[in-house]
Amino acid sequence: MATDSLLVPQCKTVTKTVDPASFTNNSNIYSQLPDHTNDSTAPTSTPSTKAADIQVINEASTLLKQGHLVAFPTETVYGLGANALDPSAVSKIYAAKGRPSDNPLIVHISSLKMLSQIMPENTELPNVYKAAIAKYWPGPLTILLPRGPNIPDSVVAGQPSVGVRFPSHPVARALIDACGFPIAAPSANTSGRPSPTLAEHVASDLDGRIQLVVDGGACTSGVESTVLDGLSSPPAILRPGGATYEGLCNLPGLEGLRVHGRDFRDVKLEATPTTPGMKYRHYTPECQVVLFESSSGSSSKVEALIQHEITEFVESGQSRIGILRTRDTPIVVSDSVSGLATIEDYYLGSSPEQVAHELFRGLRELEARKVQVILVEGISDADEGLAVMNRVRKAASRVITC
């Protein structure tokens, strides 16, 4: 489907910095979970809260109340927010990003009570999710819920369900709480680009398209949230993310948990997705990306393949080459091309968690260094690696296995 046809208004984009430490979170939010009637979940200001930080949050919430867009930090990636209950405001997200209108959005809340604005009247939170949200909310977990009448078609691309997330980032929660309504927010980037984990990434993509970027520093997770569908049977992870399969699969209600793309495929779901990240190519920098995967776990075989590809690229005239590596030491370039190639090296880290944190930043950094191709050293699908490899496979124009 074509992207939204609305013209993107030109405006001055301003970035304003806040200190996440200015806001504190009440972590004791689950005592009333069964009926979610008396939770105290929103960040609260403290005597040490900076007046300037409060002013930025107030300015951002005012813009959102007026139907404008605001980019803000979450623990996963930066989000591009609009009032989730306002179809006109939501349409601006699609226009600003150049996002296909059949690609649903995720709705963000700052308290369990906000679910009453999202689900049909007198609808209870499905039992299948209770153990999962007790473990991962606030945090990098999105759940599919029945969609109530307050949620516009544009948020869910006409689907009967809506993805909902309770972020842990104190700035995100302070902003949502200041608004008093849920915020629809995809990643704050041009559609198809690597997701933004720094405010400067947002400004690079959306300068002149939105009025305000709230800069809360680097995102701690670095990949988007896990999307969990407990409305289907058996339950399924539709998009892997910060909440891992290993952390979810043994929870009550999630017995038999499957992962879309790994354990099953659903052609109808992929054609009319209920969640972002399923239909379109994502996370792609302006240069070619080649992924190297080892089914045997042999790092020496991967290194040999990377060395071979470097030689091939140099011989074809592509001498500026970026490498995203997970090994401790840089890839050694063969003598035959060492004087002809410019290698831009970026270390992602050795653990899945570190790699997830650095992945999008690394793709954007090497792109900024004007490389012609990025070679990515893959990792195991275990833990956060499942989300990492999901993103890199979508970004890659070619995958080489050994």
The domain ranges of the chain are: 14-271, 288-401
- Give me the pLDDT at residue 44, please: 54
Average the pLDDT over 9-20 and give the result: 90
Please choose, from the candidates 188, 44, 53, the residue with its C-alpha nearest in 3D space to the C-alpha of residue 108. Answer: 188
Whether the per-residue pLDDT at 71 is higher than 60: the answer is yes
3-state secondary structure at position 181: coil
25-33: long-range pairs with CB below 8 Å, 24+: 25/138, 25/168, 25/170, 25/173, 29/112, 29/137, 29/138, 30/134, 32/112, 33/112, 33/130, 33/133, 33/134
Model pLDDT for residues 82-133, shown as the tens digit of each residue: 999 999 999 999 999 999 998 999 999 999 999 999 999 999 999 999 999 9
Residues 54-82, mean pLDDT to the nearest whole number: 98
- The full DSSP string for 51-63 is HHHHHHHHHHHHH
In which element (H, E) is residue 201 found? helix 199-206
- pLDDT 10s digits, 284-329: 899 999 999 987 767 888 999 999 999 999 999 999 999 999 998 8
* 361-373 per-position pLDDT tens digit: 999 999 999 999 9
Whether the link from the prior residue into 126 is cis, omega within 30° of 0, is: no
225 has binding-site annotation: yes
Average pLDDT taken over every residue of the chain: 90
Task: For residues 307 and 177, give the distance between their C-alpha atoms in angstroms, rounded to a whole number.
Answer: 52
- pLDDT band per the 50, 70, 90 thresholds, residue 338: confident
Average pLDDT over residues 7-21: 85
C-alpha to C-alpha distance for 292 and 393, rounded to whole angstroms = 10
Residue 9 has pLDDT above 60, yes or no: no
| Pairing label, strands 44-45, 183-184 | unpaired
pTM score over 0.85:
yes
**Alpha carbons 83 and 176: distance in angstroms, whole number:** 9
Dihedral angle sign, alpha carbons of residues 92, 97, 101, 107: negative
What does the H/E/C string look like for 145-170?
EECCCCCCHHHHCCCCEEEEECCCCH
Q: Would the annotation count 27 as a binding residue?
A: no
Mean pLDDT of 165-174: 97
Sign of CA dihedral 52, 56, 61, 67: positive
Question: Is there a binding annotation on residue 260?
Answer: no
51 is in an annotated binding site: no
Q: Going by DSSP bridges, is the β-strand pair 226-229/288-293 parallel, antiparallel, or unpaired?
A: unpaired
Q: Does 195 show up as a binding residue in the annotation?
A: yes
Which CATH number among 3.30.1130.10, 3.90.870.10, 3.40.50.300, 1.20.810.10 corresponds to the domain 14-271? 3.90.870.10
Q: pLDDT tens digit string along 224-242?
A: 999 999 999 999 999 999 9
The per-residue pLDDT for 38 is 42
Q: Which residue has the tokens 């539709």?
A: 238
- Euclidean distance between CA atoms 352 and 347, whole angstroms: 13
How are strands ordered across the β-sheet holding 288-293? Answer: 342-347, 320-325, 373-377, 288-293, 398-401
List helix spans (H) across 259-298.
Answer: 267-271
Q: Which two tokens stand for residue 120?
A: 């049909």
Categorize the per-residue pLDDT at 139 as very low, low, confident or very high, splitting at 50, 70 and 90. Answer: very high
Signed CA dihedral, 210, 214, 217, 222: sign only: negative
116 is in an annotated binding site: no
- Of the two residues 268 and 35, the one the predictor is more confident about is 268
Say if residue 296 carries a ligand binding annotation: no
pLDDT at 34: 40
Pairing relation of β-strands 258-259 and 183-184? unpaired
165 annotated among ligand-binding-site residues: yes
Burial classification of residue 234, based on how many CB atoms lie within 10 Å of its CB (0-12 exposed, 13-18 middle, 19 or more buried): middle
Q: Identify the H or E element spanning 94.
A: helix 87-97
* Residue 231: closest CA among 134, 108, 125: 125
* Superfamily designation of domain 288-401: Threonylcarbamoyl-AMP synthase, C-terminal domain (3.40.50.11030)
Same fold yes or no, 14-271 and 288-401: no
- Does 187 carry a binding-site annotation? yes
Q: Which residue has the tokens 């069964």?
A: 34
